[in-house]
A and B are shown apart, each in its own frame.
Chain A
């Protein structure tokens, strides 16, 4: 009896339920990274966008809106317009190309589903630069460009250096990013809804339009955002396939930061670019939440 009374206090009254609160300290390195290499640099760019270019290039403190006025000057705004046009058409083309393939893999993939997805991952995994470079041979004077040139009898015909080449390059580069989210939402979709729709007499197209498409809307929008955002800031594709003749905002930023070294002017353009991104993303968040609310309402 006595031994038991002695032994009892030695065992802990209650075992731990979870990891200790010091675990929270594990976020310190990542937080430092965010602070030093994300927050501070972006703040510096914002501050700099109100400054002036010093005589040697670089930055001189000031408070002026000239850089913004210049960035949005109707005569100098064309890189933004070109980028926007490229990004919108590129996103739409990716969407059109991705939708059937995502649908095919999700509904007809069967046992080959993983293989088909892996085959999409491989191009996505290979170097962006190399995949863009590959089109130089295909579209060049020894490839399709020269072929069409001889076909129509115009030796000056070129594909490289045209907006078409750039558009092809960006669709090629970003297509997998569009397929993944669409595929995931289609895959997660409740199949019984399709059965139900068919049982209620809807045609295949009707089922696709009224059931599959609304449910996968989130995937479509996510994919569009994933593609649209990098497209807006694209630099590599226009630099390689556009020969610098297709001048996007990314090319202008490189020019202003690395060549003419007009940092305040470049910063203002970068801030405008971030603003466009923010508007897009806010729209995205709004759209996704809107979908949720309607679903809740429909359940009620």
Chain B
């Protein structure tokens, strides 16, 4: 890109200016259109790829057939009827709700508390805490699952030897294990919100002699609410859908819906399993819609825009 040393006459330059860029532009435009088309096509294909399998499950759950799943024999709700009247499935559904709701409450409470508390802890503590949060998220789920099982088994043996009490795996062990990951998750969401928060309102409240208690509930908490709601819903969903950890640390009578589905998958695909799967999808999607509505209403009231105005926005922000 060095400038020419000698001045070039206008006639030398003109043809280049007139003709060549024009042709290049035309060629460039065709290429632009191709690139645009490819981008659109690729995006569309990926969305189809993402939704097609889900659609297959839902569509075939309405199939009236008694034989092959994919042989369409008319629309019917009979599989839903049989699934919802199945006492085993009812129990699994109830177990799943019990685990997921308790986990979500614990994780939201402790995660939010931790995010608030970390602002007032010494730096060394914060460093260790952040490192552990990191570990809890990056260690593969299967390692968390097996180490938790080994821990439960070892400590329950120790308790048995010392006190003669036999603790067993059950709801408590599942919930405690699920809460670990979800506490980290809620804490990250709430901390992200805290760091982006406007401090002036808190300071104004203190200047006006607001007590810490009132300042928190009237100023800080409303601003944190979207993150807290998103954290609660994510925790609920992760816990509700979890298979690996639950599989390792569940005991007798604590079969959750994913465990039930997994055990029936081994026997092959049936319209009934499709119906259970569709029910699971419906539950988690309802949670997403309700959460989105709550966050959206809050955002409208407080005039927030952008990422903080949707659950989706918060999740994508967090992953960046």
Contact = CB atoms under 8 A, between A and B. Distances in A.
Nearest to B69: A137
Nearest to A218: B320
A219 B317 CA distance: 11
Contacts, number: 277
Given A26-B114, A126-B54, A41 B148 contact: yes
Interface in A227-270: 229-230, 232-233, 235-236, 240, 250, 253-254, 257-258, 263, 266-267, 270
A25 interface: yes
Contacts of A183: 316, 320
Interface stretch (A64-72, A116-124, A149-157, A288-296): A116-124
B179 A45 contact: no
A20 B116 CA distance: 11
The listed residue with most B CB atoms (<10 A of its CB), out of A103, A134, A223, A240, is A134
A136 B270 CA distance: 11
B207 interface: yes
A277 interface: yes
A138 B143 contact: no
A257 to B, nearest CB: 5
A230 B143 CA distance: 10
Contact of A273 (B134, B143, B153, B215): B143
A250 B245 CA distance: 12
A42 B147 contact: yes
Contact of B70 (A48, A101, A143): A143
Contact of B241 (A128, A135, A137): A128
Nearest to B243: A129
Interface residues of A, number: 100
A79 interface: no
Contacts of B311: 121
B117 interface: yes
Contacts of A126: 54, 241, 280-281, 284-285
A17 interface: yes
A172 B53 contact: yes
A18 B153 CA distance: 45
A235 B114 contact: no
A27 B53 contact: no
Contacts of A273: 140, 143
B160 interface: no
A118 B151 CA distance: 39
Nearest to A128: B241
Given A25-B117, A97-B46, A133 B265 contact: yes
Contacts of A101: 42-43, 46
Nearest to B261: A129
Contacts of B75: none
A122 B285 contact: yes
Contact of B39 (A21, A58, A104): A104
Interface of A: 12, 15-31, 33-34, 37-42, 44-45, 48, 58-59, 97, 100-101, 103-105, 108, 114, 117-131, 133-138, 140, 142-143, 172, 175-177, 180-181, 183-185, 188, 203-204, 219, 222-223, 225-226, 229-230, 232-233, 235-236, 240, 250, 253-254, 257-258, 263, 266-267, 270, 273-274, 277, 281
The 6 A-B pairs with the shortest beta carbon distances in the complex, nearest first, are A233-B140, A184-B320, A26-B117, A134-B53, A30-B114, A27-B117
17 contacts: A19-B216, A27-B121, A29-B113, A30-B183, A33-B176, A41-B144, A114-B312, A125-B285, A125-B288, A134-B54, A135-B53, A172-B49, A180-B316, A203-B28, A222-B320, A233-B141, A274-B139
Given A59-B150, A100-B42, A204-B35, 6 more contacts: A27-B114, A27-B121, A59-B154, A123-B51, A133-B57, A232-B140
